[in-house]
Chains A and B, each alone.
Chain A
Amino acid sequence: MIYENSTTILSVQGLHASINGTEILKGMDLTVKSGEIHAIMGLNGSGKSTFAKVLAGHSAYEVTAGSVQFEGKNLLELPPEERARAGVFLAFQYPIEIPGVANTQFLRLAYNTVQTQRGREELDPLEFDDFVREKMKLLDMKPDFLDRSVNEGFSGGEKKRNEILQMALLEPKLSILDETDSGLDIDALKIVANGVNQLTNKNNATILVTHYQRLLDYIVPDYVHVMQAGRIVMTGGKELALELETRGYDWISTNKHSIAGEVA
C-alpha cells in the first residue's frame, strides 16, 4: 500500500550487471518505499530474475555500473549474508534441496544467525519449535514439514511455502519473491499469497518478480513495472498487469511512448 511520507527502502539507479561477460542488466532504475508492493513483469530473458539475484548478492553476477542504496546503505558492498542480516530476503524460484539436514535445524540456524546479528536472543530448539509452529499456521503447513530434510522431496508448492515460512521467520525489510507463483496450482497459490499478504505491513516492502498476472490477483501490487532487455520500460498501476495479460508483451514494444522516464 502506498503511504504518505513513507521512507525509501530501496533505491536502484543506473544498475548494470553481467554474468560471464554478458551484460544482462542495462540501466535499472527503481525506487521502493516502505509499505509498497512492486511487481516486476517481463518475458523470460528480460533480466528480472537477474535483478532479484543481484539484489541478494549472488557472486556469479558482476555489477559494472550504477548504485543500490538499501535504507541509506550501499548494498553492493555487502556480502550476501550481511544483506540477509540487514533485512533483504530473496524467495528463490528454485529452492535448493539439502538432504541430510532437517528443515527445523536449518530454519533455526538461519533464524538464530539473523537474530544474533540484530542483537536479539537466540531461541533454543524447544522455544524455536513453538515459535515456528505458530508461523507455520500462516501457511497451512503440516508439522512433519519440520522433520523432513530441507526441501528434499517437497512438491513445488511445499518448497514455495517453505520459502515464505523463512520470510516469516526472518522478518525482512525488503522481500523479493522470484517467480514464487511458478509451479503452483491454484490452491497452493492462494495459500502462499495469503501468507505473503499477512506478512506485508507499512514498515516493509515487497518486490514480486513474475511472468504472469495470475499471482497479482491475490497479491495486489501498488506498481507494476515491465522489464525488457535489462531495464524497466514501462511502469503503471495494477491495471497494467491486466492490460499485459490481454494484449501480451509484444504490445509493450510498440507502445514505449507511455513510459514514464527515458526511452531507448
Chain B
Amino acid sequence: MSEIASNDYLECLLKSWSIKPTESQSWLNQLRSQAIDRVSAQKLPTKRDEEWRFTDISSLTHLPYRPSQSECALQASDIEHLYLNEAENSLVFVDGHYSPELSKIVDQAALVIGNLPEFLSTHSATLECHLGQYATFENNVFSALNTAFLRDAALILVPKNVSVTRPIHLLFIATQQEVTSYPRCLLIGETGSNVTIIEDYVALQDATYITNSVTEISLAANAHARHIRVQRENTHAFHFANCAVSLAHASHYQSASISLGSHISRYNLDVRLLDEAAECIIDGLTLISDRQLADTHTCIDHVKPSGTSHQQHKCIVDDSAHAVFNGKIIVRPHAQRTNSSQSSRNLLLSSAAQIDTKPQLEIFADDVKCAHGATVGQLEQEEIFYLESRGLSELAARNLLTYAFGAEIISRIPVTSLRQQLEQAVLNQTQGK
C-alpha cells in the first residue's frame, strides 16, 4: 500500500473520534495525546516490515471504520450461552464498551474489579503507574490507536496475598458492523496474589468489523496469574491484539491463547521476566481453515537470572488458510541460569494450507539452558496405522489424531465448561471434512 493511503487511513481513524473524552486525570489525557502523536508519526505496517512480512493487511486501508457506538441492545438472555458457569465475576464489553447490565460482579469487597473510569479518582496513582506502561506504543501503531481511543477497560487489581479461586471472565462481544472497537484490559496482581482470567472475543453477527485490543498484565513478587485467551471472532473480522506482561521476582504467568476466528488476526504477546526466578508457561493453539490468516508473534524476554519459560505453540491449518508463528526468546547478558524451551508444532491438513514458523533465539548469557524445535508436517503414517490396527477407519484415525493434536493444548485449560466448548470447536472443525 502507498504511504499516502496508509497515512490517510490513520488520519481518517483519528478524525472519526469526534468526541474525544477528557478525564479529570491529566496523566490519562497526556497518555492519550502521546498516543495520538504516535499514531500520526507512524504508518500502517506492510509486508516490507520484517515483523509483518507474512501478513498483508493492506486491505485495512479500505476499511476506515469509525469507532463503535456505545449503544447496546443486548439483554442478558441474548448472551446466556456465552457466560461460563465457573466464572462468578464476568465483565462484559459490547463492541468495546462496558455493559454494567450484562456484567456480574460478586467479589467487589475482595478485589478491585470493574470498568476503568469508575476507579480513576479512587486509584489514580496506582493506575498511572501501570496503564500504558507495558504495552508501549512508540513503535506499534495498533497499541497507539488503542491507547488514543482509550476509555472503557476491564480493570482487575488483586490485592496482596489474595487468591481468587474462581476464574474471572472478560467477555468482548462484537455486535456492530463496519466499526472498530478498542477493547482494553489491565490486570494488576499484587505480591503473593493469585488469579485466573479468561479473555474471550466473540461475535453475534457475521459482517466485517475490526477489533484492536490491548491487554496489560503486571505481576508483583510471587504473584500468580493464569491467562486464557480465546479469539473466536467471526470469520470476516480483523483482529489485532497486543498483550504485554511484566513479571517481578518469582512471579508466575501461565497463558493459553486459542485462535479460531477472524479473517485476519494478529496476536503479539510480550512477556518480560524483569526479576529473578520469574516463570512463564505459554501455550498457543491456532486452528484455521478456508482463507483465514492467523499470525502469532511472541517475545519472551529474560532480563534477570534464574528465569524459566516454557512455550508450546501449535497450528492446525486446513484449506487455503495460512498460519504464522514467530517466537522470539531473548536472554540478556545478566540472565544467567535461564531455563527456556520452545516448541512449535504444525499440522497441515491440505496441500494449499501454509505455515510460516520461525523460532528466534537471541542469547547473550552463557550459563543457560535453551531448547527449541519446530516441526511442520502431516499426520504420521505410523500413528494412523496404529489406530487402523485397532479397527478405526483411516478417516476416523485422521480425525482422532487431528483432534488430539489440538486437544493437547486445550486439555491444559483449567476451566471445564470452556474446555468442553473448545474441544467441541476442534471436533467440529476436524470432523467437518
Which residues 16-43 of A sit at the B interface, judged by CB distance below 8 A?
A: none
Instruction: Tell me whether B92 is interfacial, beta carbon within 8 Å.
Output: no
Whether B389 and A99, one on each chain, are in contact in the complex, defined by CB atoms closer than 8 angstroms, is: no
Tell me which residues across on chain B come within 8 A of A170, comparing CB atoms. Answer: 390-391
Contacts A98-B383, A100-B408, A101-B407 given; does A81 touch B388 at CB 8 Å: yes
Tell me which residues across on chain A come within 8 A of B52, comparing CB atoms. Answer: none
Interface centre among B391, B405, B409, B411 (most CB of A within 10 A): B391
Whether A96 and B383, one on each chain, are in contact in the complex, defined by CB atoms closer than 8 angstroms, is: yes
Instruction: Tell me whether A113 is interfacial, beta carbon within 8 Å.
Output: yes
| Minimum distance in angstroms from A36 CB to a CB of chain B | 22
Whether B404 and A95, one on each chain, are in contact in the complex, defined by CB atoms closer than 8 angstroms, is: no
Tell me which residues across on chain A come within 8 A of B382, comparing CB atoms. Answer: 96
Tell me which residues across on chain A come within 8 A of B85, comparing CB atoms. Answer: none
Interface centre among B387, B393, B394, B403 (most CB of A within 10 A): B387
Partner of B388, one of A84, A99, A101: A84
Whether A57 and B403, one on each chain, are in contact in the complex, defined by CB atoms closer than 8 angstroms, is: no
| Minimum distance in angstroms from B400 CB to a CB of chain A | 6
| Minimum distance in angstroms from B158 CB to a CB of chain A | 31
Whether B388 and A57, one on each chain, are in contact in the complex, defined by CB atoms closer than 8 angstroms, is: yes
Whether A80 and B406, one on each chain, are in contact in the complex, defined by CB atoms closer than 8 angstroms, is: no
Interface centre among A57, A100, A110, A166 (most CB of B within 10 A): A100
Instruction: Tell me whether B134 is interfacial, beta carbon within 8 Å.
Output: no
| Minimum distance in angstroms from A52 CB to a CB of chain B | 10
Whether B390 and A99, one on each chain, are in contact in the complex, defined by CB atoms closer than 8 angstroms, is: no
Instruction: Tell me whether A85 is interfacial, beta carbon within 8 Å.
Output: yes
Contacts A110-B391, A117-B391, A170-B391 given; does A59 touch B381 at CB 8 Å: yes
Which residues 58-110 of A sit at the B interface, judged by CB distance below 8 A?
A: 58-60, 79-81, 83-85, 89-90, 92, 95-96, 98-101, 106, 109-110
Instruction: Tell me whether B392 is interfacial, beta carbon within 8 Å.
Output: yes
| Minimum distance in angstroms from B422 CB to a CB of chain A | 12
Tell me which residues across on chain B come within 8 A of A99, comparing CB atoms. Answer: 404, 408
Tell me which residues across on chain A come within 8 A of B385, comparing CB atoms. Answer: 56-59, 80
Instruction: Tell me whether A207 is interfacial, beta carbon within 8 Å.
Output: no
- State in angstroms the CA–CA spacing of A83 and B391 once bound together: 8
Partner of B403, one of A95, A96, A100, A113: A100
Tell me which residues across on chain B come within 8 A of A79, comparing CB atoms. Answer: 388, 394
Interface centre among A83, A85, A95, A101 (most CB of B within 10 A): A101
| Minimum distance in angstroms from A39 CB to a CB of chain B | 21
Instruction: Tell me whether B401 is interfacial, beta carbon within 8 Å.
Output: yes
Partner of A113, one of B383, B396, B401, B407: B396
Whether A166 and B390, one on each chain, are in contact in the complex, defined by CB atoms closer than 8 angstroms, is: yes
Which A-chain residue is minimally distant from B314 (CB atoms)?
A100
| Minimum distance in angstroms from A83 CB to a CB of chain B | 8
Whether A81 and B391, one on each chain, are in contact in the complex, defined by CB atoms closer than 8 angstroms, is: yes
Whether B389 and A84, one on each chain, are in contact in the complex, defined by CB atoms closer than 8 angstroms, is: yes
Instruction: Tell me whether B386 is interfacial, beta carbon within 8 Å.
Output: yes
Instruction: Tell me whether A164 is interfacial, beta carbon within 8 Å.
Output: no
Contacts A59-B381, A100-B406, A100-B407 given; does A109 touch B400 at CB 8 Å: yes
Whether A98 and B404, one on each chain, are in contact in the complex, defined by CB atoms closer than 8 angstroms, is: yes
A-B contact count (CB 8 A): 76
| Minimum distance in angstroms from B285 CB to a CB of chain A | 11
- State in angstroms the CA–CA spacing of A106 and B403 once bound together: 12
| Minimum distance in angstroms from A227 CB to a CB of chain B | 21
- State in angstroms the CA–CA spacing of A110 and B392 once bound together: 7
Contacts A60-B381, A96-B386 given; does A101 touch B391 at CB 8 Å: no
Interface centre among A79, A95, A98, A109 (most CB of B within 10 A): A98
| Minimum distance in angstroms from B427 CB to a CB of chain A | 12
Place the interface of chain A in its size category: 20 to 34
Partner of B389, one of A60, A80, A149: A80
- State in angstroms the CA–CA spacing of A60 and B382 once bound together: 9
Partner of A100, one of B383, B391, B411: B411
Interface centre among A79, A92, A96, A106 (most CB of B within 10 A): A96
Whether B388 and A110, one on each chain, are in contact in the complex, defined by CB atoms closer than 8 angstroms, is: no
Task: Render A101-140 as a binary contact track against B, CB cut-off 8 A, 1 for contact.
Answer: 1000010011001100100000000000000000000000
Interface centre among B393, B396, B404 (most CB of A within 10 A): B404
Tell me which residues across on chain A come within 8 A of B403, comparing CB atoms. Answer: 100-101
| Minimum distance in angstroms from A22 CB to a CB of chain B | 17
Contacts A59-B381, A99-B404, A100-B406 given; does A92 touch B388 at CB 8 Å: no
Task: Render B391-430 as a binary contact track against A, CB cut-off 8 A, 1 for contact.
Answer: 1111010001101111111110000000000000000000
Whether B391 and A113, one on each chain, are in contact in the complex, defined by CB atoms closer than 8 angstroms, is: yes
Which A-chain residue is minimally distant from B402 (CB atoms)?
A100
- State in angstroms the CA–CA spacing of A79 and B393 once bound together: 9
| Minimum distance in angstroms from B332 CB to a CB of chain A | 33
Tell me which residues across on chain B come within 8 A of A166, comparing CB atoms. Answer: 390
Which B-chain residue is minimally distant from A91 (CB atoms)?
B389
Whether A101 and B389, one on each chain, are in contact in the complex, defined by CB atoms closer than 8 angstroms, is: no
Contacts A96-B383, A100-B405, A100-B411 given; does A56 touch B389 at CB 8 Å: yes
| Minimum distance in angstroms from A153 CB to a CB of chain B | 12
Whether A81 and B392, one on each chain, are in contact in the complex, defined by CB atoms closer than 8 angstroms, is: yes
Contacts A100-B403, A100-B404 given; does A84 touch B386 at CB 8 Å: no
- State in angstroms the CA–CA spacing of A85 and B400 once bound together: 18
- State in angstroms the CA–CA spacing of A140 and B419 once bound together: 32
Contacts A96-B382, A96-B386, A98-B401 given; does A113 touch B408 at CB 8 Å: no
12 contacts between A and B (CB under 8 A): A57-B389, A80-B389, A81-B392, A83-B389, A84-B388, A95-B386, A96-B387, A99-B404, A100-B406, A109-B392, A110-B390, A113-B390
Given A90-B389, A110-B392, 13 extra CB contacts under 8 A = A59-B381, A79-B388, A81-B393, A96-B383, A98-B383, A98-B400, A99-B404, A99-B408, A100-B405, A100-B407, A109-B392, A109-B400, A110-B391
In the A-B complex, the 4 residue pairs with the smallest Cβ-Cβ separation, listed nearest first, are A100-B407, A100-B408, A100-B404, A110-B390
Chain B interface (Cβ < 8 Å from any Cβ of A): 381-383, 385-394, 396, 400-401, 403-411
